[in-house]
Structure 1
Amino acid sequence: MPVDRESTDLEAYVKRSRSGPCFVCAFLAGSPDYPHATVFEDVDHVAFLDRWPTVPGKVLVAPKVHVEHVVRDLNEEAYSRLMLFVREIALAVEAVCEPERTYLYSLGSQQGNAHLHWHIAALPPGVPYPQQQFHALMTENGVLALPSDQAVSMAARLREAVIARGVLKEG
């Protein structure tokens, strides 16, 4: 089912990301100002739908503890567990969304959105090449207007795919 795109208020987004609380920590604390549809979580990590997705089924994955640097803040074991979690969520996204390509990337900065998080973005089949890669990921090109019932449904389907793989344990 097609989903409409809507423009984003980039100025408000930047202001919120730079002056507001950590969005991951606020979400995990249950702040009503930072709602997200949870896909799956274990003791150390959480996967949740992006509130401003640029492609269907876009998921963010983050450690539950506030970590800012993927390289220096995680020891080898913690890094490996996080990357296994990212991989399992990405495989669930692929199973549900059947993309042409799956993009994995980590953004953020000490100046905004500092909590380490990975983006899992499934490029739908048939997207013309000029609209792939960076173009498909940039909120400047609009975000999907996803009604909350569709977000809940997508999160449930992704969760079922994670559970069906049987690798991650809930916690």
Structure 2
Amino acid sequence: MDLEGYMERARSGPCFVCAFLAGDPGYPHHTIHEDDDHVAFLDRWPTLPGKVLVVPRAHVEHVVRDLDAAAYARLMLFVREVALAVEHVFDAERTYVYSLGSQEGNSHLHWHIAALPPGVPYEEQQFHVLMTENGVLDVAPDEMADIAARLRRAIASP
């Protein structure tokens, strides 16, 4: 992963979520689950196996104030449904669910779901394992497709 290129693209390029949802070939991702209002897809540069992003279809930027209580609850139930599948497929010791982004880049609201595998030393857990600066996994395209299919199956048959 070219971290400098990624940061430049995040800050000066189009909204990566809106570009992906519009079918822009420069922003491909493996969709694993969707409904009328939300989409879950594999992180293109995962730091943990099967790391997933969940987004609202609408371009929403603020995690709390841009959603009314009902929309927030629906989004969080969708996040939970996907997180349960990630835990099932990846036998997580702990599941990290967090929202990041900035008005300076990656402003579209998105939740990260990352399954911490058993046995990761404490000093390599939490923020350390989530930061791309500490490395991303090199996942072959066919393996990404397989992970997406396994997660789809887990969601379809909870």
**TM band (smaller chain):** over 0.9
The one-letter code sitting in structure 2 at the alignment partner of 1:84 is: L
Q: Distance in 1 between matches of 2:146 and 2:59?
A: 28
1:59 corresponds in structure 2 to: 52
1:123 corresponds in structure 2 to: 116
For 1:54, what is the secondary structure of its paired residue? coil
* Alignment equivalent of 1:147, drawn from 130, 140, 149: 140
* Alignment equivalent of 2:27, drawn from 21, 34, 39: 34
Deviation at 1:9, TM superposition (A): 2.1
Could you tell me the TM-score, scaled by structure 2's length? 0.98
For 2:59, what is the secondary structure of its paired residue? coil
The count of aligned residue pairs is: 158
2:36 corresponds in structure 1 to: 43
Unaligned runs of 5+ in 1: 1-7, 166-171
Unaligned runs of 5+ in 2: none
For 1:144, what is the secondary structure of its paired residue? coil
* Alignment equivalent of 2:15, drawn from 7, 11, 22: 22
For 1:26, what is the secondary structure of its paired residue? helix
Deviation at 1:11, TM superposition (A): 1.2
Higher relative contact order, structure no. (Cα contacts within 8 Å, ≥ 6 residues apart) = 1
* Alignment equivalent of 1:109, drawn from 102, 109, 112: 102
Q: Distance in 2 between matches of 1:48 and 1:98?
A: 19
Structure 2 residue 97 is matched with structure 1 residue 98:
no
Q: Distance in 2 between matches of 1:73 and 1:141?
A: 32
1:3 corresponds in structure 2 to: none
Deviation at 1:88, TM superposition (A): 0.4
2:2 corresponds in structure 1 to: 9
Q: Distance in 1 between matches of 2:20 and 2:141?
A: 16
Structure 2 residue 157 is matched with structure 1 residue 136:
no
Could you tell me the TM-score, scaled by structure 1's length? 0.91
CA RMSD of superposed structures (Å): 0.6
Structure 2 residue 65 is matched with structure 1 residue 81:
no
Identity %: 72
